[in-house]
Amino acid sequence: MEEKTVVLGVIGSDVHAVGNRILEEAFSEAGFEVVNIGVLAPQQEFINAAIETDADAILVSSLYGHGEMDCKGFREKCIEAGLEDIVLYVGGNLVVGKQEWESTKQKFLDMGFDRVYPPGTLPKEPIADLKKDLGIEG
Amino acid sequence: MEEKTVVLGVIGSDVHAVGNRILEEAFSEAGFEVVNIGVLAPQQEFINAAIETDADAILVSSLYGHGEMDCKGFREKCIEAGLEDIVLYVGGNLVVGKQEWESTKQKFLDMGFDRVYPPGTLPKEPIADLKKDLGIEG
Amino acid sequence: MKVENKRWSLDKFKEMRKEVLQEWPTGEEVELEEAIRYHQQQLSSEQVMANRLAEAEQEKITLIQPRAGVALIEEHIELLEFLHTEGGADLLPTTIDSYTRQNNYQEAEAGIKESRNEGRSMLNGFPAVNHGVQSCRQVIEALAVPVQVRHGTPDARLLAEITLAGGFTDFEGGGISYNIPYAKDVSIEQTIYHWQYVDRLVGYYEERGLKVNREPFGPLTGTLVPPSVSHSVAIIEALLAAEQGVKNITLGYGQCGNLIQDVAAIHTLKELGTEYLADYEDIMLTTVFHQWMGGFPQDEAQAFGVISWGAVTAALANATKVIVKTPHEALGVPTKEANAQGLRATKQVINMLKDQQSFNGEELATEKEMIKQETKEILDRVLELGDGDVAQGTIKAFEGGILDIPFAPSKYNAGNLLTARDNNGAVRFLKHGNLPFSEKVVDFHETKLEERGAAESREPNFQMVTDDIYAIGKGMLVGRP
Amino acid sequence: MKVENKRWSLDKFKEMRKEVLQEWPTGEEVELEEAIRYHQQQLSSEQVMANRLAEAEQEKITLIQPRAGVALIEEHIELLEFLHTEGGADLLPTTIDSYTRQNNYQEAEAGIKESRNEGRSMLNGFPAVNHGVQSCRQVIEALAVPVQVRHGTPDARLLAEITLAGGFTDFEGGGISYNIPYAKDVSIEQTIYHWQYVDRLVGYYEERGLKVNREPFGPLTGTLVPPSVSHSVAIIEALLAAEQGVKNITLGYGQCGNLIQDVAAIHTLKELGTEYLADYEDIMLTTVFHQWMGGFPQDEAQAFGVISWGAVTAALANATKVIVKTPHEALGVPTKEANAQGLRATKQVINMLKDQQSFNGEELATEKEMIKQETKEILDRVLELGDGDVAQGTIKAFEGGILDIPFAPSKYNAGNLLTARDNNGAVRFLKHGNLPFSEKVVDFHETKLEERGAAESREPNFQMVTDDIYAIGKGMLVGRP
Ligand code: B12
Ligand code: B12
């Protein structure tokens, strides 16, 4: 396959590094070019990395519960920066507390994310989705 | 205090003997004359024992879940046998399954029991109640 | 009738059989040869309990099994399926209701009707006799894993006929363990005799090349039963069963709560069993550990703590299987969801522990040595009393209180024992009644309880026992004042 | 700035203090002498953490403590009260939100506002700096038990000033343990320096006769951290703290999952700590065991299994206290009910085990010996690198990967370690990077992992590590293929 680039990172004041490390391994092994900006990443850093590397997708992680606040306006900022078509995924423990998943998902879809993943998602699911969304043959 | 007599037993096909043994000890120590007919006791056996010993109260245990079926008509049978004024208590795990306590209690009150005790009742509670109901000074 | 530990002739068995099958109309359904064909042709190897146990024994893993049974067929199947898929149960049970256990098939019938009317199970188990052979087969065929009959029936002859013909491959109980804790007025002689029938029936299946597992009920009254007491009963029942041709036996033990004592108990159960059964060939011995069988805390979170502690012990002792309690234990027969929760908590623990080393050390060795010595002192005396015949010996032993079980309802039980926890929570003899213990054993227990008495500044007495009975329900192991 | 392990002069401390208190307006509220009077006059002896820990240590019991914190004062008090009364928490926490941890007081302020608007906590903890001294005192005064600040703040100077003045008597963290797992871009030099400030502040309280406990954060990244790695960090932080006058120290360790390794870890933590801190007088060392800090199963029943297993280990290891997880762990910050459930399950287990013997045996001895040897090899090298100065040594050791922590986000961490479970589930070094291990140690770990590799017919590699990371969440300890 033609190599597609994804930017990976953990947004906001969040330091959960383990899932991020595993996603890096898994997406690399699946044939993606992975640009991992790591933890404690502000929105702007994701966008800068995406522009610099001409990325096809941004995968945002938020584990620590502040995802709702940290992700506000992310899609708009991408558009402002000229990344109109970039694929945006978000996943992790997105809100504070154990909450009804459907409404959490809707919240993030409304913010403009293309796909939203619940806690405990294994890498193979977003990998398959991303291949589909980027039109890569499995 | 003037010695009051209580008949103790576990009704129906129920063999749970431990609580019964402990109730025997506790009521004896509290000054009651205890007639313990033990486990696997049919209604008639409680009544016979009460008549024979001129008992003041009958304490029915049911742990195994069939209490609802086993206790039906108990009060009526007592009346038939001439035990109009006898105090009737029932306690244990009275119904099959973990059910809402208030409705279980009401069921047994409706059957004519004077007091109904939930799982986990410690002896001191029915002892105090019985002293009150029989007009014994604490 | 003089009951001896001698293999029954087929004639004797078949003669009694005629009567047994007439106890309730469903008895007519049972045809032994047809039943054997059914086992041979309809049951896959995975549905046979002994196979699954043998595997587990070899892989050194601990299987998990719930208790469960409701009044009606469809609901019962649904319940068991749920426990398998949602609870991850490796083995399934069919718990029999209490009317059936007392052979009150009339009342069981009423319970079935009331359950239909009320739309909920009014019975605390599955009335297999009333349902009959074909209905049992419906249950078995719906499930991919082996199913065992679990009950508490002093006279289980008809129940065994119907359920084994119905495709069950494991049958719990025995002439002592399903009498003394479960009956008041039935003599030991009677129940040993009736259970010889059950064992002879199982022996017949075995002769025909089928595996039907048998499991003496280890925990007895579930209330402060020291290992040597339940071990003695388990081994006697195993001997009685083996004589009638039973080949696959699971020896049971109910958690006392102290890790070292419990691990020692499971180890010695297997070791002693092997020793005493050495004369019988081709016996497969496995073990079952019962999570805490006494009073539970009402709070579900606390109950999970008790359940998990049982799971830890089962895994560290490497029992072949563990019988699992539920977070509803203190309150009532669990919902299927609560039952599955108990299973999942247990499985999590078992899986986390299955690869871990077992521990050794002096405390374990001492504990094992004591359990073995006590059990041997009891069993040797039993055999002596019976002039080498374990059936006769057992009957006499109960008469004399040489075999004795704490807190049992049976009037055939001497009831002279008083047991309480020592300062570490192991269950010890406060009064050993007429158990034929040597001075060494008596001193050991006395010292242990004095130690606790000193720590609590009180004499060990009935109050201590009561405190211990309430303790786990109140969130403790040792019932301190 | 050259950071050395030397007690700060009061002048140096006070000079820095001026700046610190200006970081956020609430800093103005802090007056040291007034705060000391507050501790002396307003806190009862039961509200002082060190007293409660000393008692537990003497009684050989294990206390239980949750994590908990929400955005608003009243709700926070309600939460803590609930955990005390309904959960039976012996000790209480105040978990600080992640904005505060990164000194983003501005965003914390926004979080407080949003929480008020939304009617639920939008912060994952209690923003103590924004709330200020008086509000902290409101919390402390509402509670009868000691309360500790738990956080993960690389620069916790202002947080310490405010919370200690606010009446908290225990402060978690340290220059390594609250940097490497919690930061990306902050140098070790910087955080050691900032934590010397915190320790000096605590030392000042101690000089004035007040007890303020300190607790290095043991589990680090909570992800396959071998005992010798976390022990090294804990002891370094204890040495750094003691030098600044800290007297009461709780050394921490996060459950790895294998019983023997975990018991050995708690035992050696205390023993090594005592050894290395021998030069400091009047130090009280206690231990804290953290229930499993890695990924949890989502199912609550399974989570109860994990929680209870942690409780078992804490009790058998006789840690002074245990930090408790909840059945919501995998999903989100727990409700107060879920939090209390975790506590009650834990308490049940602890209480059932508190009287039981600890076990010994060869495996435990070997495990202890190895942990000690590894830790000493690391620490001796650290001291060597610093020419006897542990602060300098630590900085250099991180540069050279002599100190190294698995899965840490910090760029000041070499990140050369790869750790995985051996065939019994104990955590071992797959790649030990630059840790200064002797051949004996290296061989030990290699052999252990080869054993597992052989059992699984695969080479130990990153896939094995990944499998282990997912394992407990999927209901296992060892991530088998
Ligand atoms: C030990 C035990 C057994 C032992 C009993 C040994 C013996 N012969 O005594 C064995 C293993 C044999 C057993 C068998 C069965 N048991 Co059972 N058993 C228990 C258990 C774990 C503890 C009971 C106990 O001894 N408690 C300690 C004593 C001190 O407490 P207590 O019995 O509750 O009595 C106290 C109070 O309830 C109160 N009290 C009792 N009666 C009365 C009456 C009055 C008037 C008053 C005021 C107070 C009062 O005072 C007592 C002293 O404090 C309970 C569950 C639990 N509680 O945790 C299940 C339980 C009672 N058993 C149950 C069942 C279903 C059975 C079986 C049918 C099947 C099975 N699951 O194996 C068989 C039934 C046999 C039969 N025919 O009766 C169910 C009943 C379900 C329900 N009601 O919905 C329970 C609740 C377990 C469960 N959740 O499924 N059991
Ligand atoms: C380990 C851990 C820590 C470690 C982290 C070490 C480190 N630097 O990495 C430490 C101890 C330091 C820590 C700290 C904190 N933690 Co923490 N932590 C965990 C824990 C137990 C496991 C996380 C983990 O490593 N899982 C294993 C990896 C492999 O899984 P993962 O992270 O979930 O990632 C996978 C999937 O989610 C998915 N995924 C993730 N992102 C994305 C993105 C996309 C696009 C897709 C498709 C998929 C995807 O793929 C990953 C790989 O499979 C979780 C709870 C849990 N899950 O059991 C809590 C948890 C995440 N932590 C939590 C909290 C609150 C904190 C703290 C604020 C406070 C505290 N309680 O101590 C601090 C926050 C620090 C900060 N500023 O971020 C909460 C979050 C609450 C919420 N959302 O409501 C959790 C859920 C625990 C809880 N229930 O309270 N934590």
Q: What angle do CA D339, D334, D153 make, to 5 degrees?
A: 100
The helix or strand, by DSSP H or E, that contains position C353, with its residue range, turns out to be helix C336-353
What does the DSSP 8-state code read for residue D474?
A: G
**Residue pair C360/D362 in contact by the 8 Å Cβ criterion:** yes
Q: Whose CA is nearest to atom 13 of ligand 1?
A: B16
Residue A1 pLDDT class (50, 70, 90 cuts): low
D145 within some domain: yes
* Res A96: pLDDT: 86
**Amino acid symbol at D240:** L
Structural domain includes residue D16: yes
Rounded to the nearest 5 percent, the helix, strand and coil shares of chain C are: 55, 10, 40
Which spans in C24-89 are helix H?
32-42, 49-59, 73-85
Q: What are the backbone dihedrals phi and psi of residue B61, each rounded to the nearest 5 degrees, phi first?
A: -105, 140
| pLDDT computed for residue B97 by the predictor | 86
Given a cut of 60, is residue B138 above it in pLDDT? no
In this structure, what token pair is assigned to residue D474? 């999927």
pLDDT of D78 higher than 90: yes
Residues C189 and C68 in one domain: yes
Nearest CA, atom 6, ligand 1: C221
Asked if residue D360 has pLDDT above 80, the reply is no
Candidate from D302, D304, D477 with C-beta closest to C355: D477
Same domain, D319 and D432: no
Shared domain check, C426 and C289: no
Tokens found for residue C201: 């029936």
Instruction: Determine if residue B117 is left, alpha or beta; phi over 0 gives left, psi from -120 to 50 gives alpha, anything else beta.
Output: beta
D340 in a structural domain: yes
State the smallest CA–CA distance between residue D301 and chain C in angstroms: 5
Gyration radius (Cα) of chain A, Å: 14
Q: Which of D333, D353, D373 is the last residue of a domain?
A: D353
End residue of a domain, out of C316, C331, C353: C353
- Residues D433, D294: one domain? no
| Rounded mean pLDDT, C159-174 | 98
pLDDT tens, D237-291? 999 999 999 999 999 999 999 999 999 999 999 999 999 999 999 999 999 999 9
In order of A5, A6, A14, A46, the CA distances from A52 in angstroms are: 11, 12, 23, 10
What is the mean pLDDT of the segment spanning D326-333? 96
Torsion of CA B31, B37, B38, B43, to 10 degrees: -120
Q: Is C333 on the interface with B (CB under 8 A)?
A: yes
Instruction: Please tell me whether residues C98 and C210 are part of one structural domain.
Output: yes
What's the CA gap between D347 and D64, in Å, rounded? 7
- Cα dist. A100→A95, A97, A109, D342 in Å? 10, 10, 15, 21
Residue C392 lies in a domain: no
Cα D436 from Cα D405, distance rounded (Å): 14
Predicted local distance difference test score (pLDDT) of residue C375:
98
Domain carrying residue C424:
416-481
Rounded average pLDDT over B40-51: 97
Strand D418-421 versus strand B57-62 pairing type:
unpaired
Kindly provide the ipTM of the predicted complex, given to two decimals. Answer: 0.95
Distance CA C391, CA D109 (A): 80
The residue behind tokens 């521990």 is C359
In-domain check, residue C378: no
Taking the CB of residue D271, how many other CB atoms lie within 10 A of it? 14
pLDDT band at D163 (very low <50, low <70, confident <90, very high): very high
Quote the minimal CA–CA distance from C156 to chain B in Å.
Answer: 15
3-state DSSP assignment of residue C89? coil
- Judged by its nearest atom, the ligand closest to the C-alpha of residue B87 is 1
Say if residue D141 is in the same domain as residue D248: yes
Q: Which residue, of C306, C325, C353, is where some domain finishes? A: C353
Q: Are strands B33-36 and C248-254 parallel, antiparallel or unpaired?
A: unpaired
Atom of ligand 2 nearest to the CA of A90: 45
Q: Given an 8 Å threshold on Cβ–Cβ distance, is B15 in contact with C111?
A: no
Question: Does one domain contain both C93 and C232?
Answer: yes
Residues with Cβ within 8 Å of C213's Cβ and at least 6 positions away in sequence, in order, are: C49, C50, C53, C148, C169, C170, C171, C248, C249, C250
Q: How many domains does chain C have?
A: 2
The mean pLDDT of B71-86, rounded to a whole number, is 96
What percent of chain C is predicted at pLDDT more than 70? 100
Please indicate whether residue B21, judged by its CB atom, sits closer than 6 Å to ligand 1: no
D81 CB neighbour count, 10 Å cutoff = 16
* Beta-carbon separation of B15 and C469 below 8 A: no
| Cα–Cα distance for residue pair C375/C231, rounded to 1 Å | 7
Structural domains for chain B: 5-129 (3.40.50.280)
Tokens representing C27?
A: 């008895």
pTM of the model: 0.95
| CB pair distance less than 8 Å for A120 and D330 | yes
Instruction: Tell me whether residue D101 is one of the annotated catalytic residues.
Output: yes
Distance (Å, whole) CA D107 – CA D105: 5
Mean pLDDT of D31-57: 97
* Same domain, residue pair D211 and D305: yes
C454 and C320 in a common domain: no
CATH of the domain at C438: 3.90.970.10
Chains within contact range of chain A (3+ C-beta pairs < 8 Å): D
Is residue D129 in a domain? Answer: yes
Residue C411 lies in a domain: no
| C76: CATH | 3.20.20.240
Separation CA B34–CA B54 (nearest Å): 12
Indicate if ligand 1 lies below 6 Å from the C-beta of B69: no
Measured distance CA(C442)–CA(D219) in Å, rounded = 48
| C133 lies in the same domain as C251 | yes
Determine A/D contact with 3+ CB pairs under 8 A as the test: yes
Work out the pLDDT band at A138, boundaries 50, 70, 90. Answer: low
DSSP string for residues in D422-462: -TTS-EEEEE-TT----HHHHHHHHHHHHHHHHHHTS--SH
Residue C294 CA, closest ligand 1 atom number: 21
List Cβ neighbours of C132 (8 Å cut-off, separation of 6 or more). C26, C29, C162, C166
Annotation marks residue A14 as catalytic: yes
CB contact under 8 A, C345 and D301: yes
Among B50-59, B128-137, C341-350, name the one with the lowest average pLDDT: B128-137
Q: Do D344 and D425 belong together in one domain?
A: no
Nearest to D297 among C299, C348, C357 (CB): C348
Backbone angles phi and psi of D313, in degrees to 5: -65, -45
Rounded Cα–Cα distance for residues C27 and C17 (Å):
10
CB contact under 8 A, D312 and C311: no
Place of tokens 């699954």: C52
pLDDT in tens, C400-430: 999 999 999 999 999 999 999 999 999 999 9
Taking the CA of residue C211 and the nearest CA in chain B, the distance in Å comes to: 32
Chain length of chain D: 481
Give the pLDDT confidence of C168-182 residue by residue, as tens digits: 999 999 999 999 999
For chain C, the residue count is: 481
Cα separation of D59 and D62, whole Å?
Answer: 9
Residues D313 and D453 in one domain: no
- Of A17, A69, A98, Cβ closest to residue D328: A98
Q: How far is the CA of D327 from the centre of ligand 2 (A)?
A: 15
Instruction: Report CA-CA distances (Å) from D442 to C102, D258, D434.
Output: 65, 20, 11
